[in-house]
Amino acid sequence: MAKRALVTGITGQDGAYLSQFLLEKGYEVHGVIRRSSHRGVEDHRLRWLGVADRVHLHDGDLADLSSLLRTVKDVQPDEIYNLAAQSFVASSWRQPLLTANVTAIGVTNMLEAMRIGAPGARFYQASSSEMYGLIQEPMQSETTPFYPRSPYAVAKLYGHWITVNYRESFGLHASSGILFNHESPLRGVEFVTRKVTRTVAAIKLGQAQELRLGNIDAKRDWGHARDYVEGMWRMLQQEKPDDYVVATGVTTTVRDMCKIAFAHAGLDMDKHLIIDPAFFRPAEVDVLLGDSSKARKALGWKPEIDLETMIKEMLDADLERLRREPLS
């Protein structure tokens, strides 16, 4: 029989790519989806990848243990991927309690649902490089101390450690992937990479004139979500659960990422890029650079898509979208 996977956050970037990956592996894929008045719209990423009709969606919410427990008992998954979160760092200062309830406590709810309803399943927790925050080492590995710099990062750190605790307390096969920034054409428009590619596409098509950003000297380790979801899957195929950093090991400034996008569009960046103080964070994470040597050795994982290829793919996708549906 086909393995069954249950994915929270299935309609997000990672959830969509993971669903596609698992379906290609022959899995039966189930997803938890929040009740919304926009039903039929929120699965656009699954439709973009052509898999929306091949996944089974269940109403549920990370803040509601009863719905999670009911879904876990109904699906009886072999693997659970907890990807759902309030995942936009900037919003976490404006919505700190929501972020805590979903991104932190929601992990405990999902682990409890698994412990009670499917204790033999294997669990993946989406941890984040934002947990390193004010970096304590030049390259961040599984042993680097954490220093979160946003309510989002604090919530993610709770989710990370509660996963470790349930693994050690109850013997669950529960692993965390400390994923560094990963992007794609399916990234939300509020994230800087997609904001850049979408705005550059709009400028190219005459639908916008300027790109406003904050700290363009911040450095990030950017990879492609398609590569990173394979890392998630590889973690759950291991005999013993563990935690792994997933990263490219290459850091790039926001400024240089912008240069790639503007150059691909044939535009002069200096004529359109404006630094706007409104987009600076209350507490900035200046540099992130991941050491994924453990994942490369233990999991046989490595990134395949470089930053330039990814940004060009994202820009081409945004040009296609905006030609069909111009900015109003």
Other beta carbons less than 10 A from residue 188's beta carbon: 12
Specify whether the CB–CB gap between 77 and 113 falls below 8 A. no
**Residue 254 and residue 115 share a domain:** no
Q: What is the pLDDT of residue 281?
A: 75
**Residue 275 and residue 215 share a domain:** yes
State yes or no: pLDDT of 68 exceeds 60: yes
- In sequence order, which residues have a C-beta less than 8 Å from that of residue 203 and are 6 or more positions away? 209, 210, 211, 265, 267, 272
pLDDT tens track for 2-15? 999 999 999 999 99
**Residue 203 and residue 107 share a domain:** no
**Residue 100 and residue 11 share a domain:** yes
- Output the CA–CA distances (angstroms, integers) from residue 319 to 66, 107, 210, 239, 301, in the order listed: 43, 37, 16, 44, 32
Specify whether the CB–CB gap between 50 and 74 falls below 8 A. no
Across the chain, mean pLDDT equals 95
Count of structural domains within the chain: 2
3 state DSSP class of 58:
strand
**Residue 215 and residue 98 share a domain:** no
Q: Residue 124 and residue 254: Cα distance in Å, rounded?
A: 30
Domain extent for 34: 4-182+223-246
Q: Residue 157 and residue 85: Cα distance in Å, rounded?
A: 13
Among all residues, which ones are annotated catalytic?
128, 130, 152
Q: Residue 85 and residue 307: Cα distance in Å, rounded?
A: 25
Q: Residue 317 and residue 200: Cα distance in Å, rounded?
A: 12
- Output the CA–CA distances (angstroms, integers) from residue 39 to 34, 44, 62, 156, in the order listed: 9, 10, 18, 27
**Residue 149 and residue 13 share a domain:** yes
Tokens of residue 205, six digits:
């098509």
Tokens of residue 81, six digits:
């991927």
**Residue 260 and residue 167 share a domain:** no
Q: What is the pLDDT of residue 53?
A: 96
**Residue 167 and residue 58 share a domain:** yes
Q: Residue 5 and residue 29: Cα distance in Å, rounded?
A: 5
Task: Single out the residue of 2, 63, 64 nearest to residue 30, CA to CA.
Answer: 2
Could you tell me the CATH number of the domain that includes residue 260?
Answer: 3.90.25.10
Q: Residue 322 and residue 318: Cα distance in Å, rounded?
A: 6
pLDDT tens track for 205-263? 999 999 999 999 999 999 999 999 999 999 999 999 999 999 999 999 999 999 999 99
State yes or no: pLDDT of 88 exceeds 90: no
Q: Does residue 237 form part of some domain?
A: yes
Q: Can you say whether the dihedral through the CA atoms of 95, 192, 82, 282 is positive or negative?
A: negative
pLDDT tens track for 118-141? 999 999 999 999 999 999 999 999
Q: Does residue 293 form part of some domain?
A: no
Identify which has the larger pLDDT, 68 or 91: 68
State the average pLDDT over residues 182-196. 95
Could you tell me the CATH number of the domain that includes residue 10?
Answer: 3.40.50.720
Specify whether the CB–CB gap between 192 and 256 falls below 8 A. no
Q: What is the pLDDT of residue 41?
A: 61
pTM of the model: 0.94
